[in-house]
């Protein structure tokens, strides 16, 4: 069987070495030494100003909305994981969906201004599959209309755009370090900002709003992470280069072998590096894609319709709306297996199966 993904696991002895230290110290959570070390390591690696390690990518989004004091409407993408939208609703704001660009699959910056109203306070955009949004255009729009910008960079670890980290853009950027991500700490995430005061506010929010042993400065939440998760993050950090190189080779094999298939890959940002987080294909028709899914399953190969369905018309707590490009793309997109332990031979098998299917 070939699943769509498998978490990367480092050599067990490397993880056990750090775990033994936790046992000796007896410090399990509440931003212990390993959590602080991971936070500093990621900040240096990504070359960002202020980074906070948190429980997960969803908490990161909720903290970002809370820290910016957002109310009213937040413009966002309907083509993302549900946490992007649910975080907006959870924080008592109203998501307003803007259609996506059919090539990048990110929020269409050219359609943002038409959606702005007097109640709009922010833009929350996802770097879909790690592919950067049009950050320059979005920044200009935000400045013109006095809007805050949050980027959901759950898929974007390690990506650079216009020569600097993707997390340097926006008022706050977030990332997921969930086990399914190319780099992970089992469960985890982080928030990044260039604003020192905003970072200090986020740090207080992460710890229940504490501003000292017996005082509170903010409405907070428990957004901290444990030493066990941080240990996995630190050990996996040693293997980032190997993970990147392997996923790059697998992606290149897919691209070479699948020439002639009635499907295309999204167009990557021309000024950005790649992290090879996913291998998505947009098929010519939904009918052919569904046929491919069935045949792959018959061969014990499991792909994922990611993201499907559109968030704009599938959530029970929001009124459904139709968006032309999103509706069309969501029905035809499929992510193929991609993970560190996947072999070139297995990629060849996947490609052979797909190319054997008649459109």
Reported residue count of the chain is 359
Q: What is the pLDDT of residue 359?
A: 82
pLDDT tens digits, one per residue of 225-242: 999 999 999 999 999 999
Q: Residue 300 — very low, low, confident or very high, per pLDDT cuts 50/70/90?
A: very high
To 5 degrees, how large is the angle CA 354–CA 356–CA 359? 80
Q: What value does the mean pLDDT of the chain take? A: 97
254, 336 contact by CB (below 8 A): yes
Q: At residue 219, what are phi and psi to the nearest 5 degrees?
A: -80, 115
Q: Is the pLDDT of residue 358 over 90?
A: no
Q: Please give the average per-residue pLDDT across 254-282, as a whole number.
A: 97
What per-residue string of b and e applies to 243-265 under the rule 16 or more CB within 10 Å gives b?
Answer: bbebbeebbebbeebbeebebeb
Q: Please give the average per-residue pLDDT across 104-132, as a whole number.
A: 98
Torsion sign, CA atoms 257, 263, 264, 265: negative
Domains in the chain (CATH in brackets) are 12-237 (3.40.640.10), 240-355 (3.90.1150.10)
% of the chain exceeding 90 in pLDDT? 99
pLDDT tens digits, one per residue of 144-157: 999 999 999 999 99
Q: What is the pLDDT of residue 298?
A: 97
The interaxial angle of helices 33-46 and 12-25, nearest 10 deg, is: 130
Q: Is the pLDDT of residue 42 over 90?
A: yes
Q: Residue 2 — very low, low, confident or very high, per pLDDT cuts 50/70/90?
A: very high
50, 199 contact by CB (below 8 A): yes
Q: What is the pLDDT of residue 212?
A: 85
% of the chain exceeding 70 in pLDDT? 100
Q: What is the pLDDT of residue 57?
A: 98
Instruction: Compute CA 17 distance to the chain's CA centroid, rounded to the nearest angstrom.
Output: 30
Q: Is the pLDDT of residue 5 over 90?
A: yes
Two tokens at 47?
């070359």
Q: What is the pLDDT of residue 210?
A: 95
Q: Is the pLDDT of residue 71 over 90?
A: yes
């Amino acid at each position: 069987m070939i699943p769509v993904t498998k978490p990367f696991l480092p050599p067990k002895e490397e993880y056990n070495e750090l775990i033994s230290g936790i046992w000796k110290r007896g410090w399990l959570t509440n931003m212990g030494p390993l959590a602080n070390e991971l936070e500093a390591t990621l900040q240096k690696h990504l070359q960002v100003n202020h980074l906070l390690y948190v429980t997960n990518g969803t908490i990161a989004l909720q903290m970002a909305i809370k820290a910016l004091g957002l109310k009213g409407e937040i413009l966002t993408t309907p083509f993302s994981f549900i946490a992007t939208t649910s975080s907006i609703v959870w924080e008592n704001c109203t998501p307003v969906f803007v259609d996506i660009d059919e090539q990048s699959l990110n929020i269409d910056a050219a359609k943002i201004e038409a959606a702005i109203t007097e109640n709009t306070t922010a833009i929350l955009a996802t770097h879909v599959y790690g592919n950067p949004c049009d950050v320059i255009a979005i920044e200009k729009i935000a400045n013109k209309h006095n809007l805050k910008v949050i980027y959901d960079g759950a898929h974007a670890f390690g990506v650079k755009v216009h020569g600097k980290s993707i997390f340097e853009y926006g008022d706050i950027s977030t990332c997921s370090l969930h086990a399914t991500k190319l780099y992970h700490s089992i469960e985890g995430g982080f928030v990044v900002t260039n604003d020192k005061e905003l970072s200090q506010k986020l740090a207080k929010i992460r710890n229940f709003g504490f501003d000292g042993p017996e005082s509170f400065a903010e409405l907070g939440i428990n957004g901290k992470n444990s030493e066990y998760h941080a240990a996995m993050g630190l050990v996996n950090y040693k293997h980032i280069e190997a993970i990147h190189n392997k996923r790059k080779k697998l992606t290149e094999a897919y691209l070479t072998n699948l020439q002639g298939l009635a499907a295309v890959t999204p167009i990557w940002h021309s000024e950005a590096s790649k992290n090879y987080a996913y291998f998505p294909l947009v098929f010519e028709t939904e009918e052919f894609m569904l046929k491919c899914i069935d045949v792959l399953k018959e061969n014990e190969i499991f792909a994922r319709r990611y993201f499907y369905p559109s968030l704009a018309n599938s959530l029970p707590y929001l009124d459904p709306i139709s968006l032309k490009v999103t509706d069309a793309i969501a029905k035809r997109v499929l992510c193929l297996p991609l993970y560190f332990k996947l072999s070139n031979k297995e990629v060849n098998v996947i490609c052979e199966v797909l190319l054997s299917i008649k459109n």
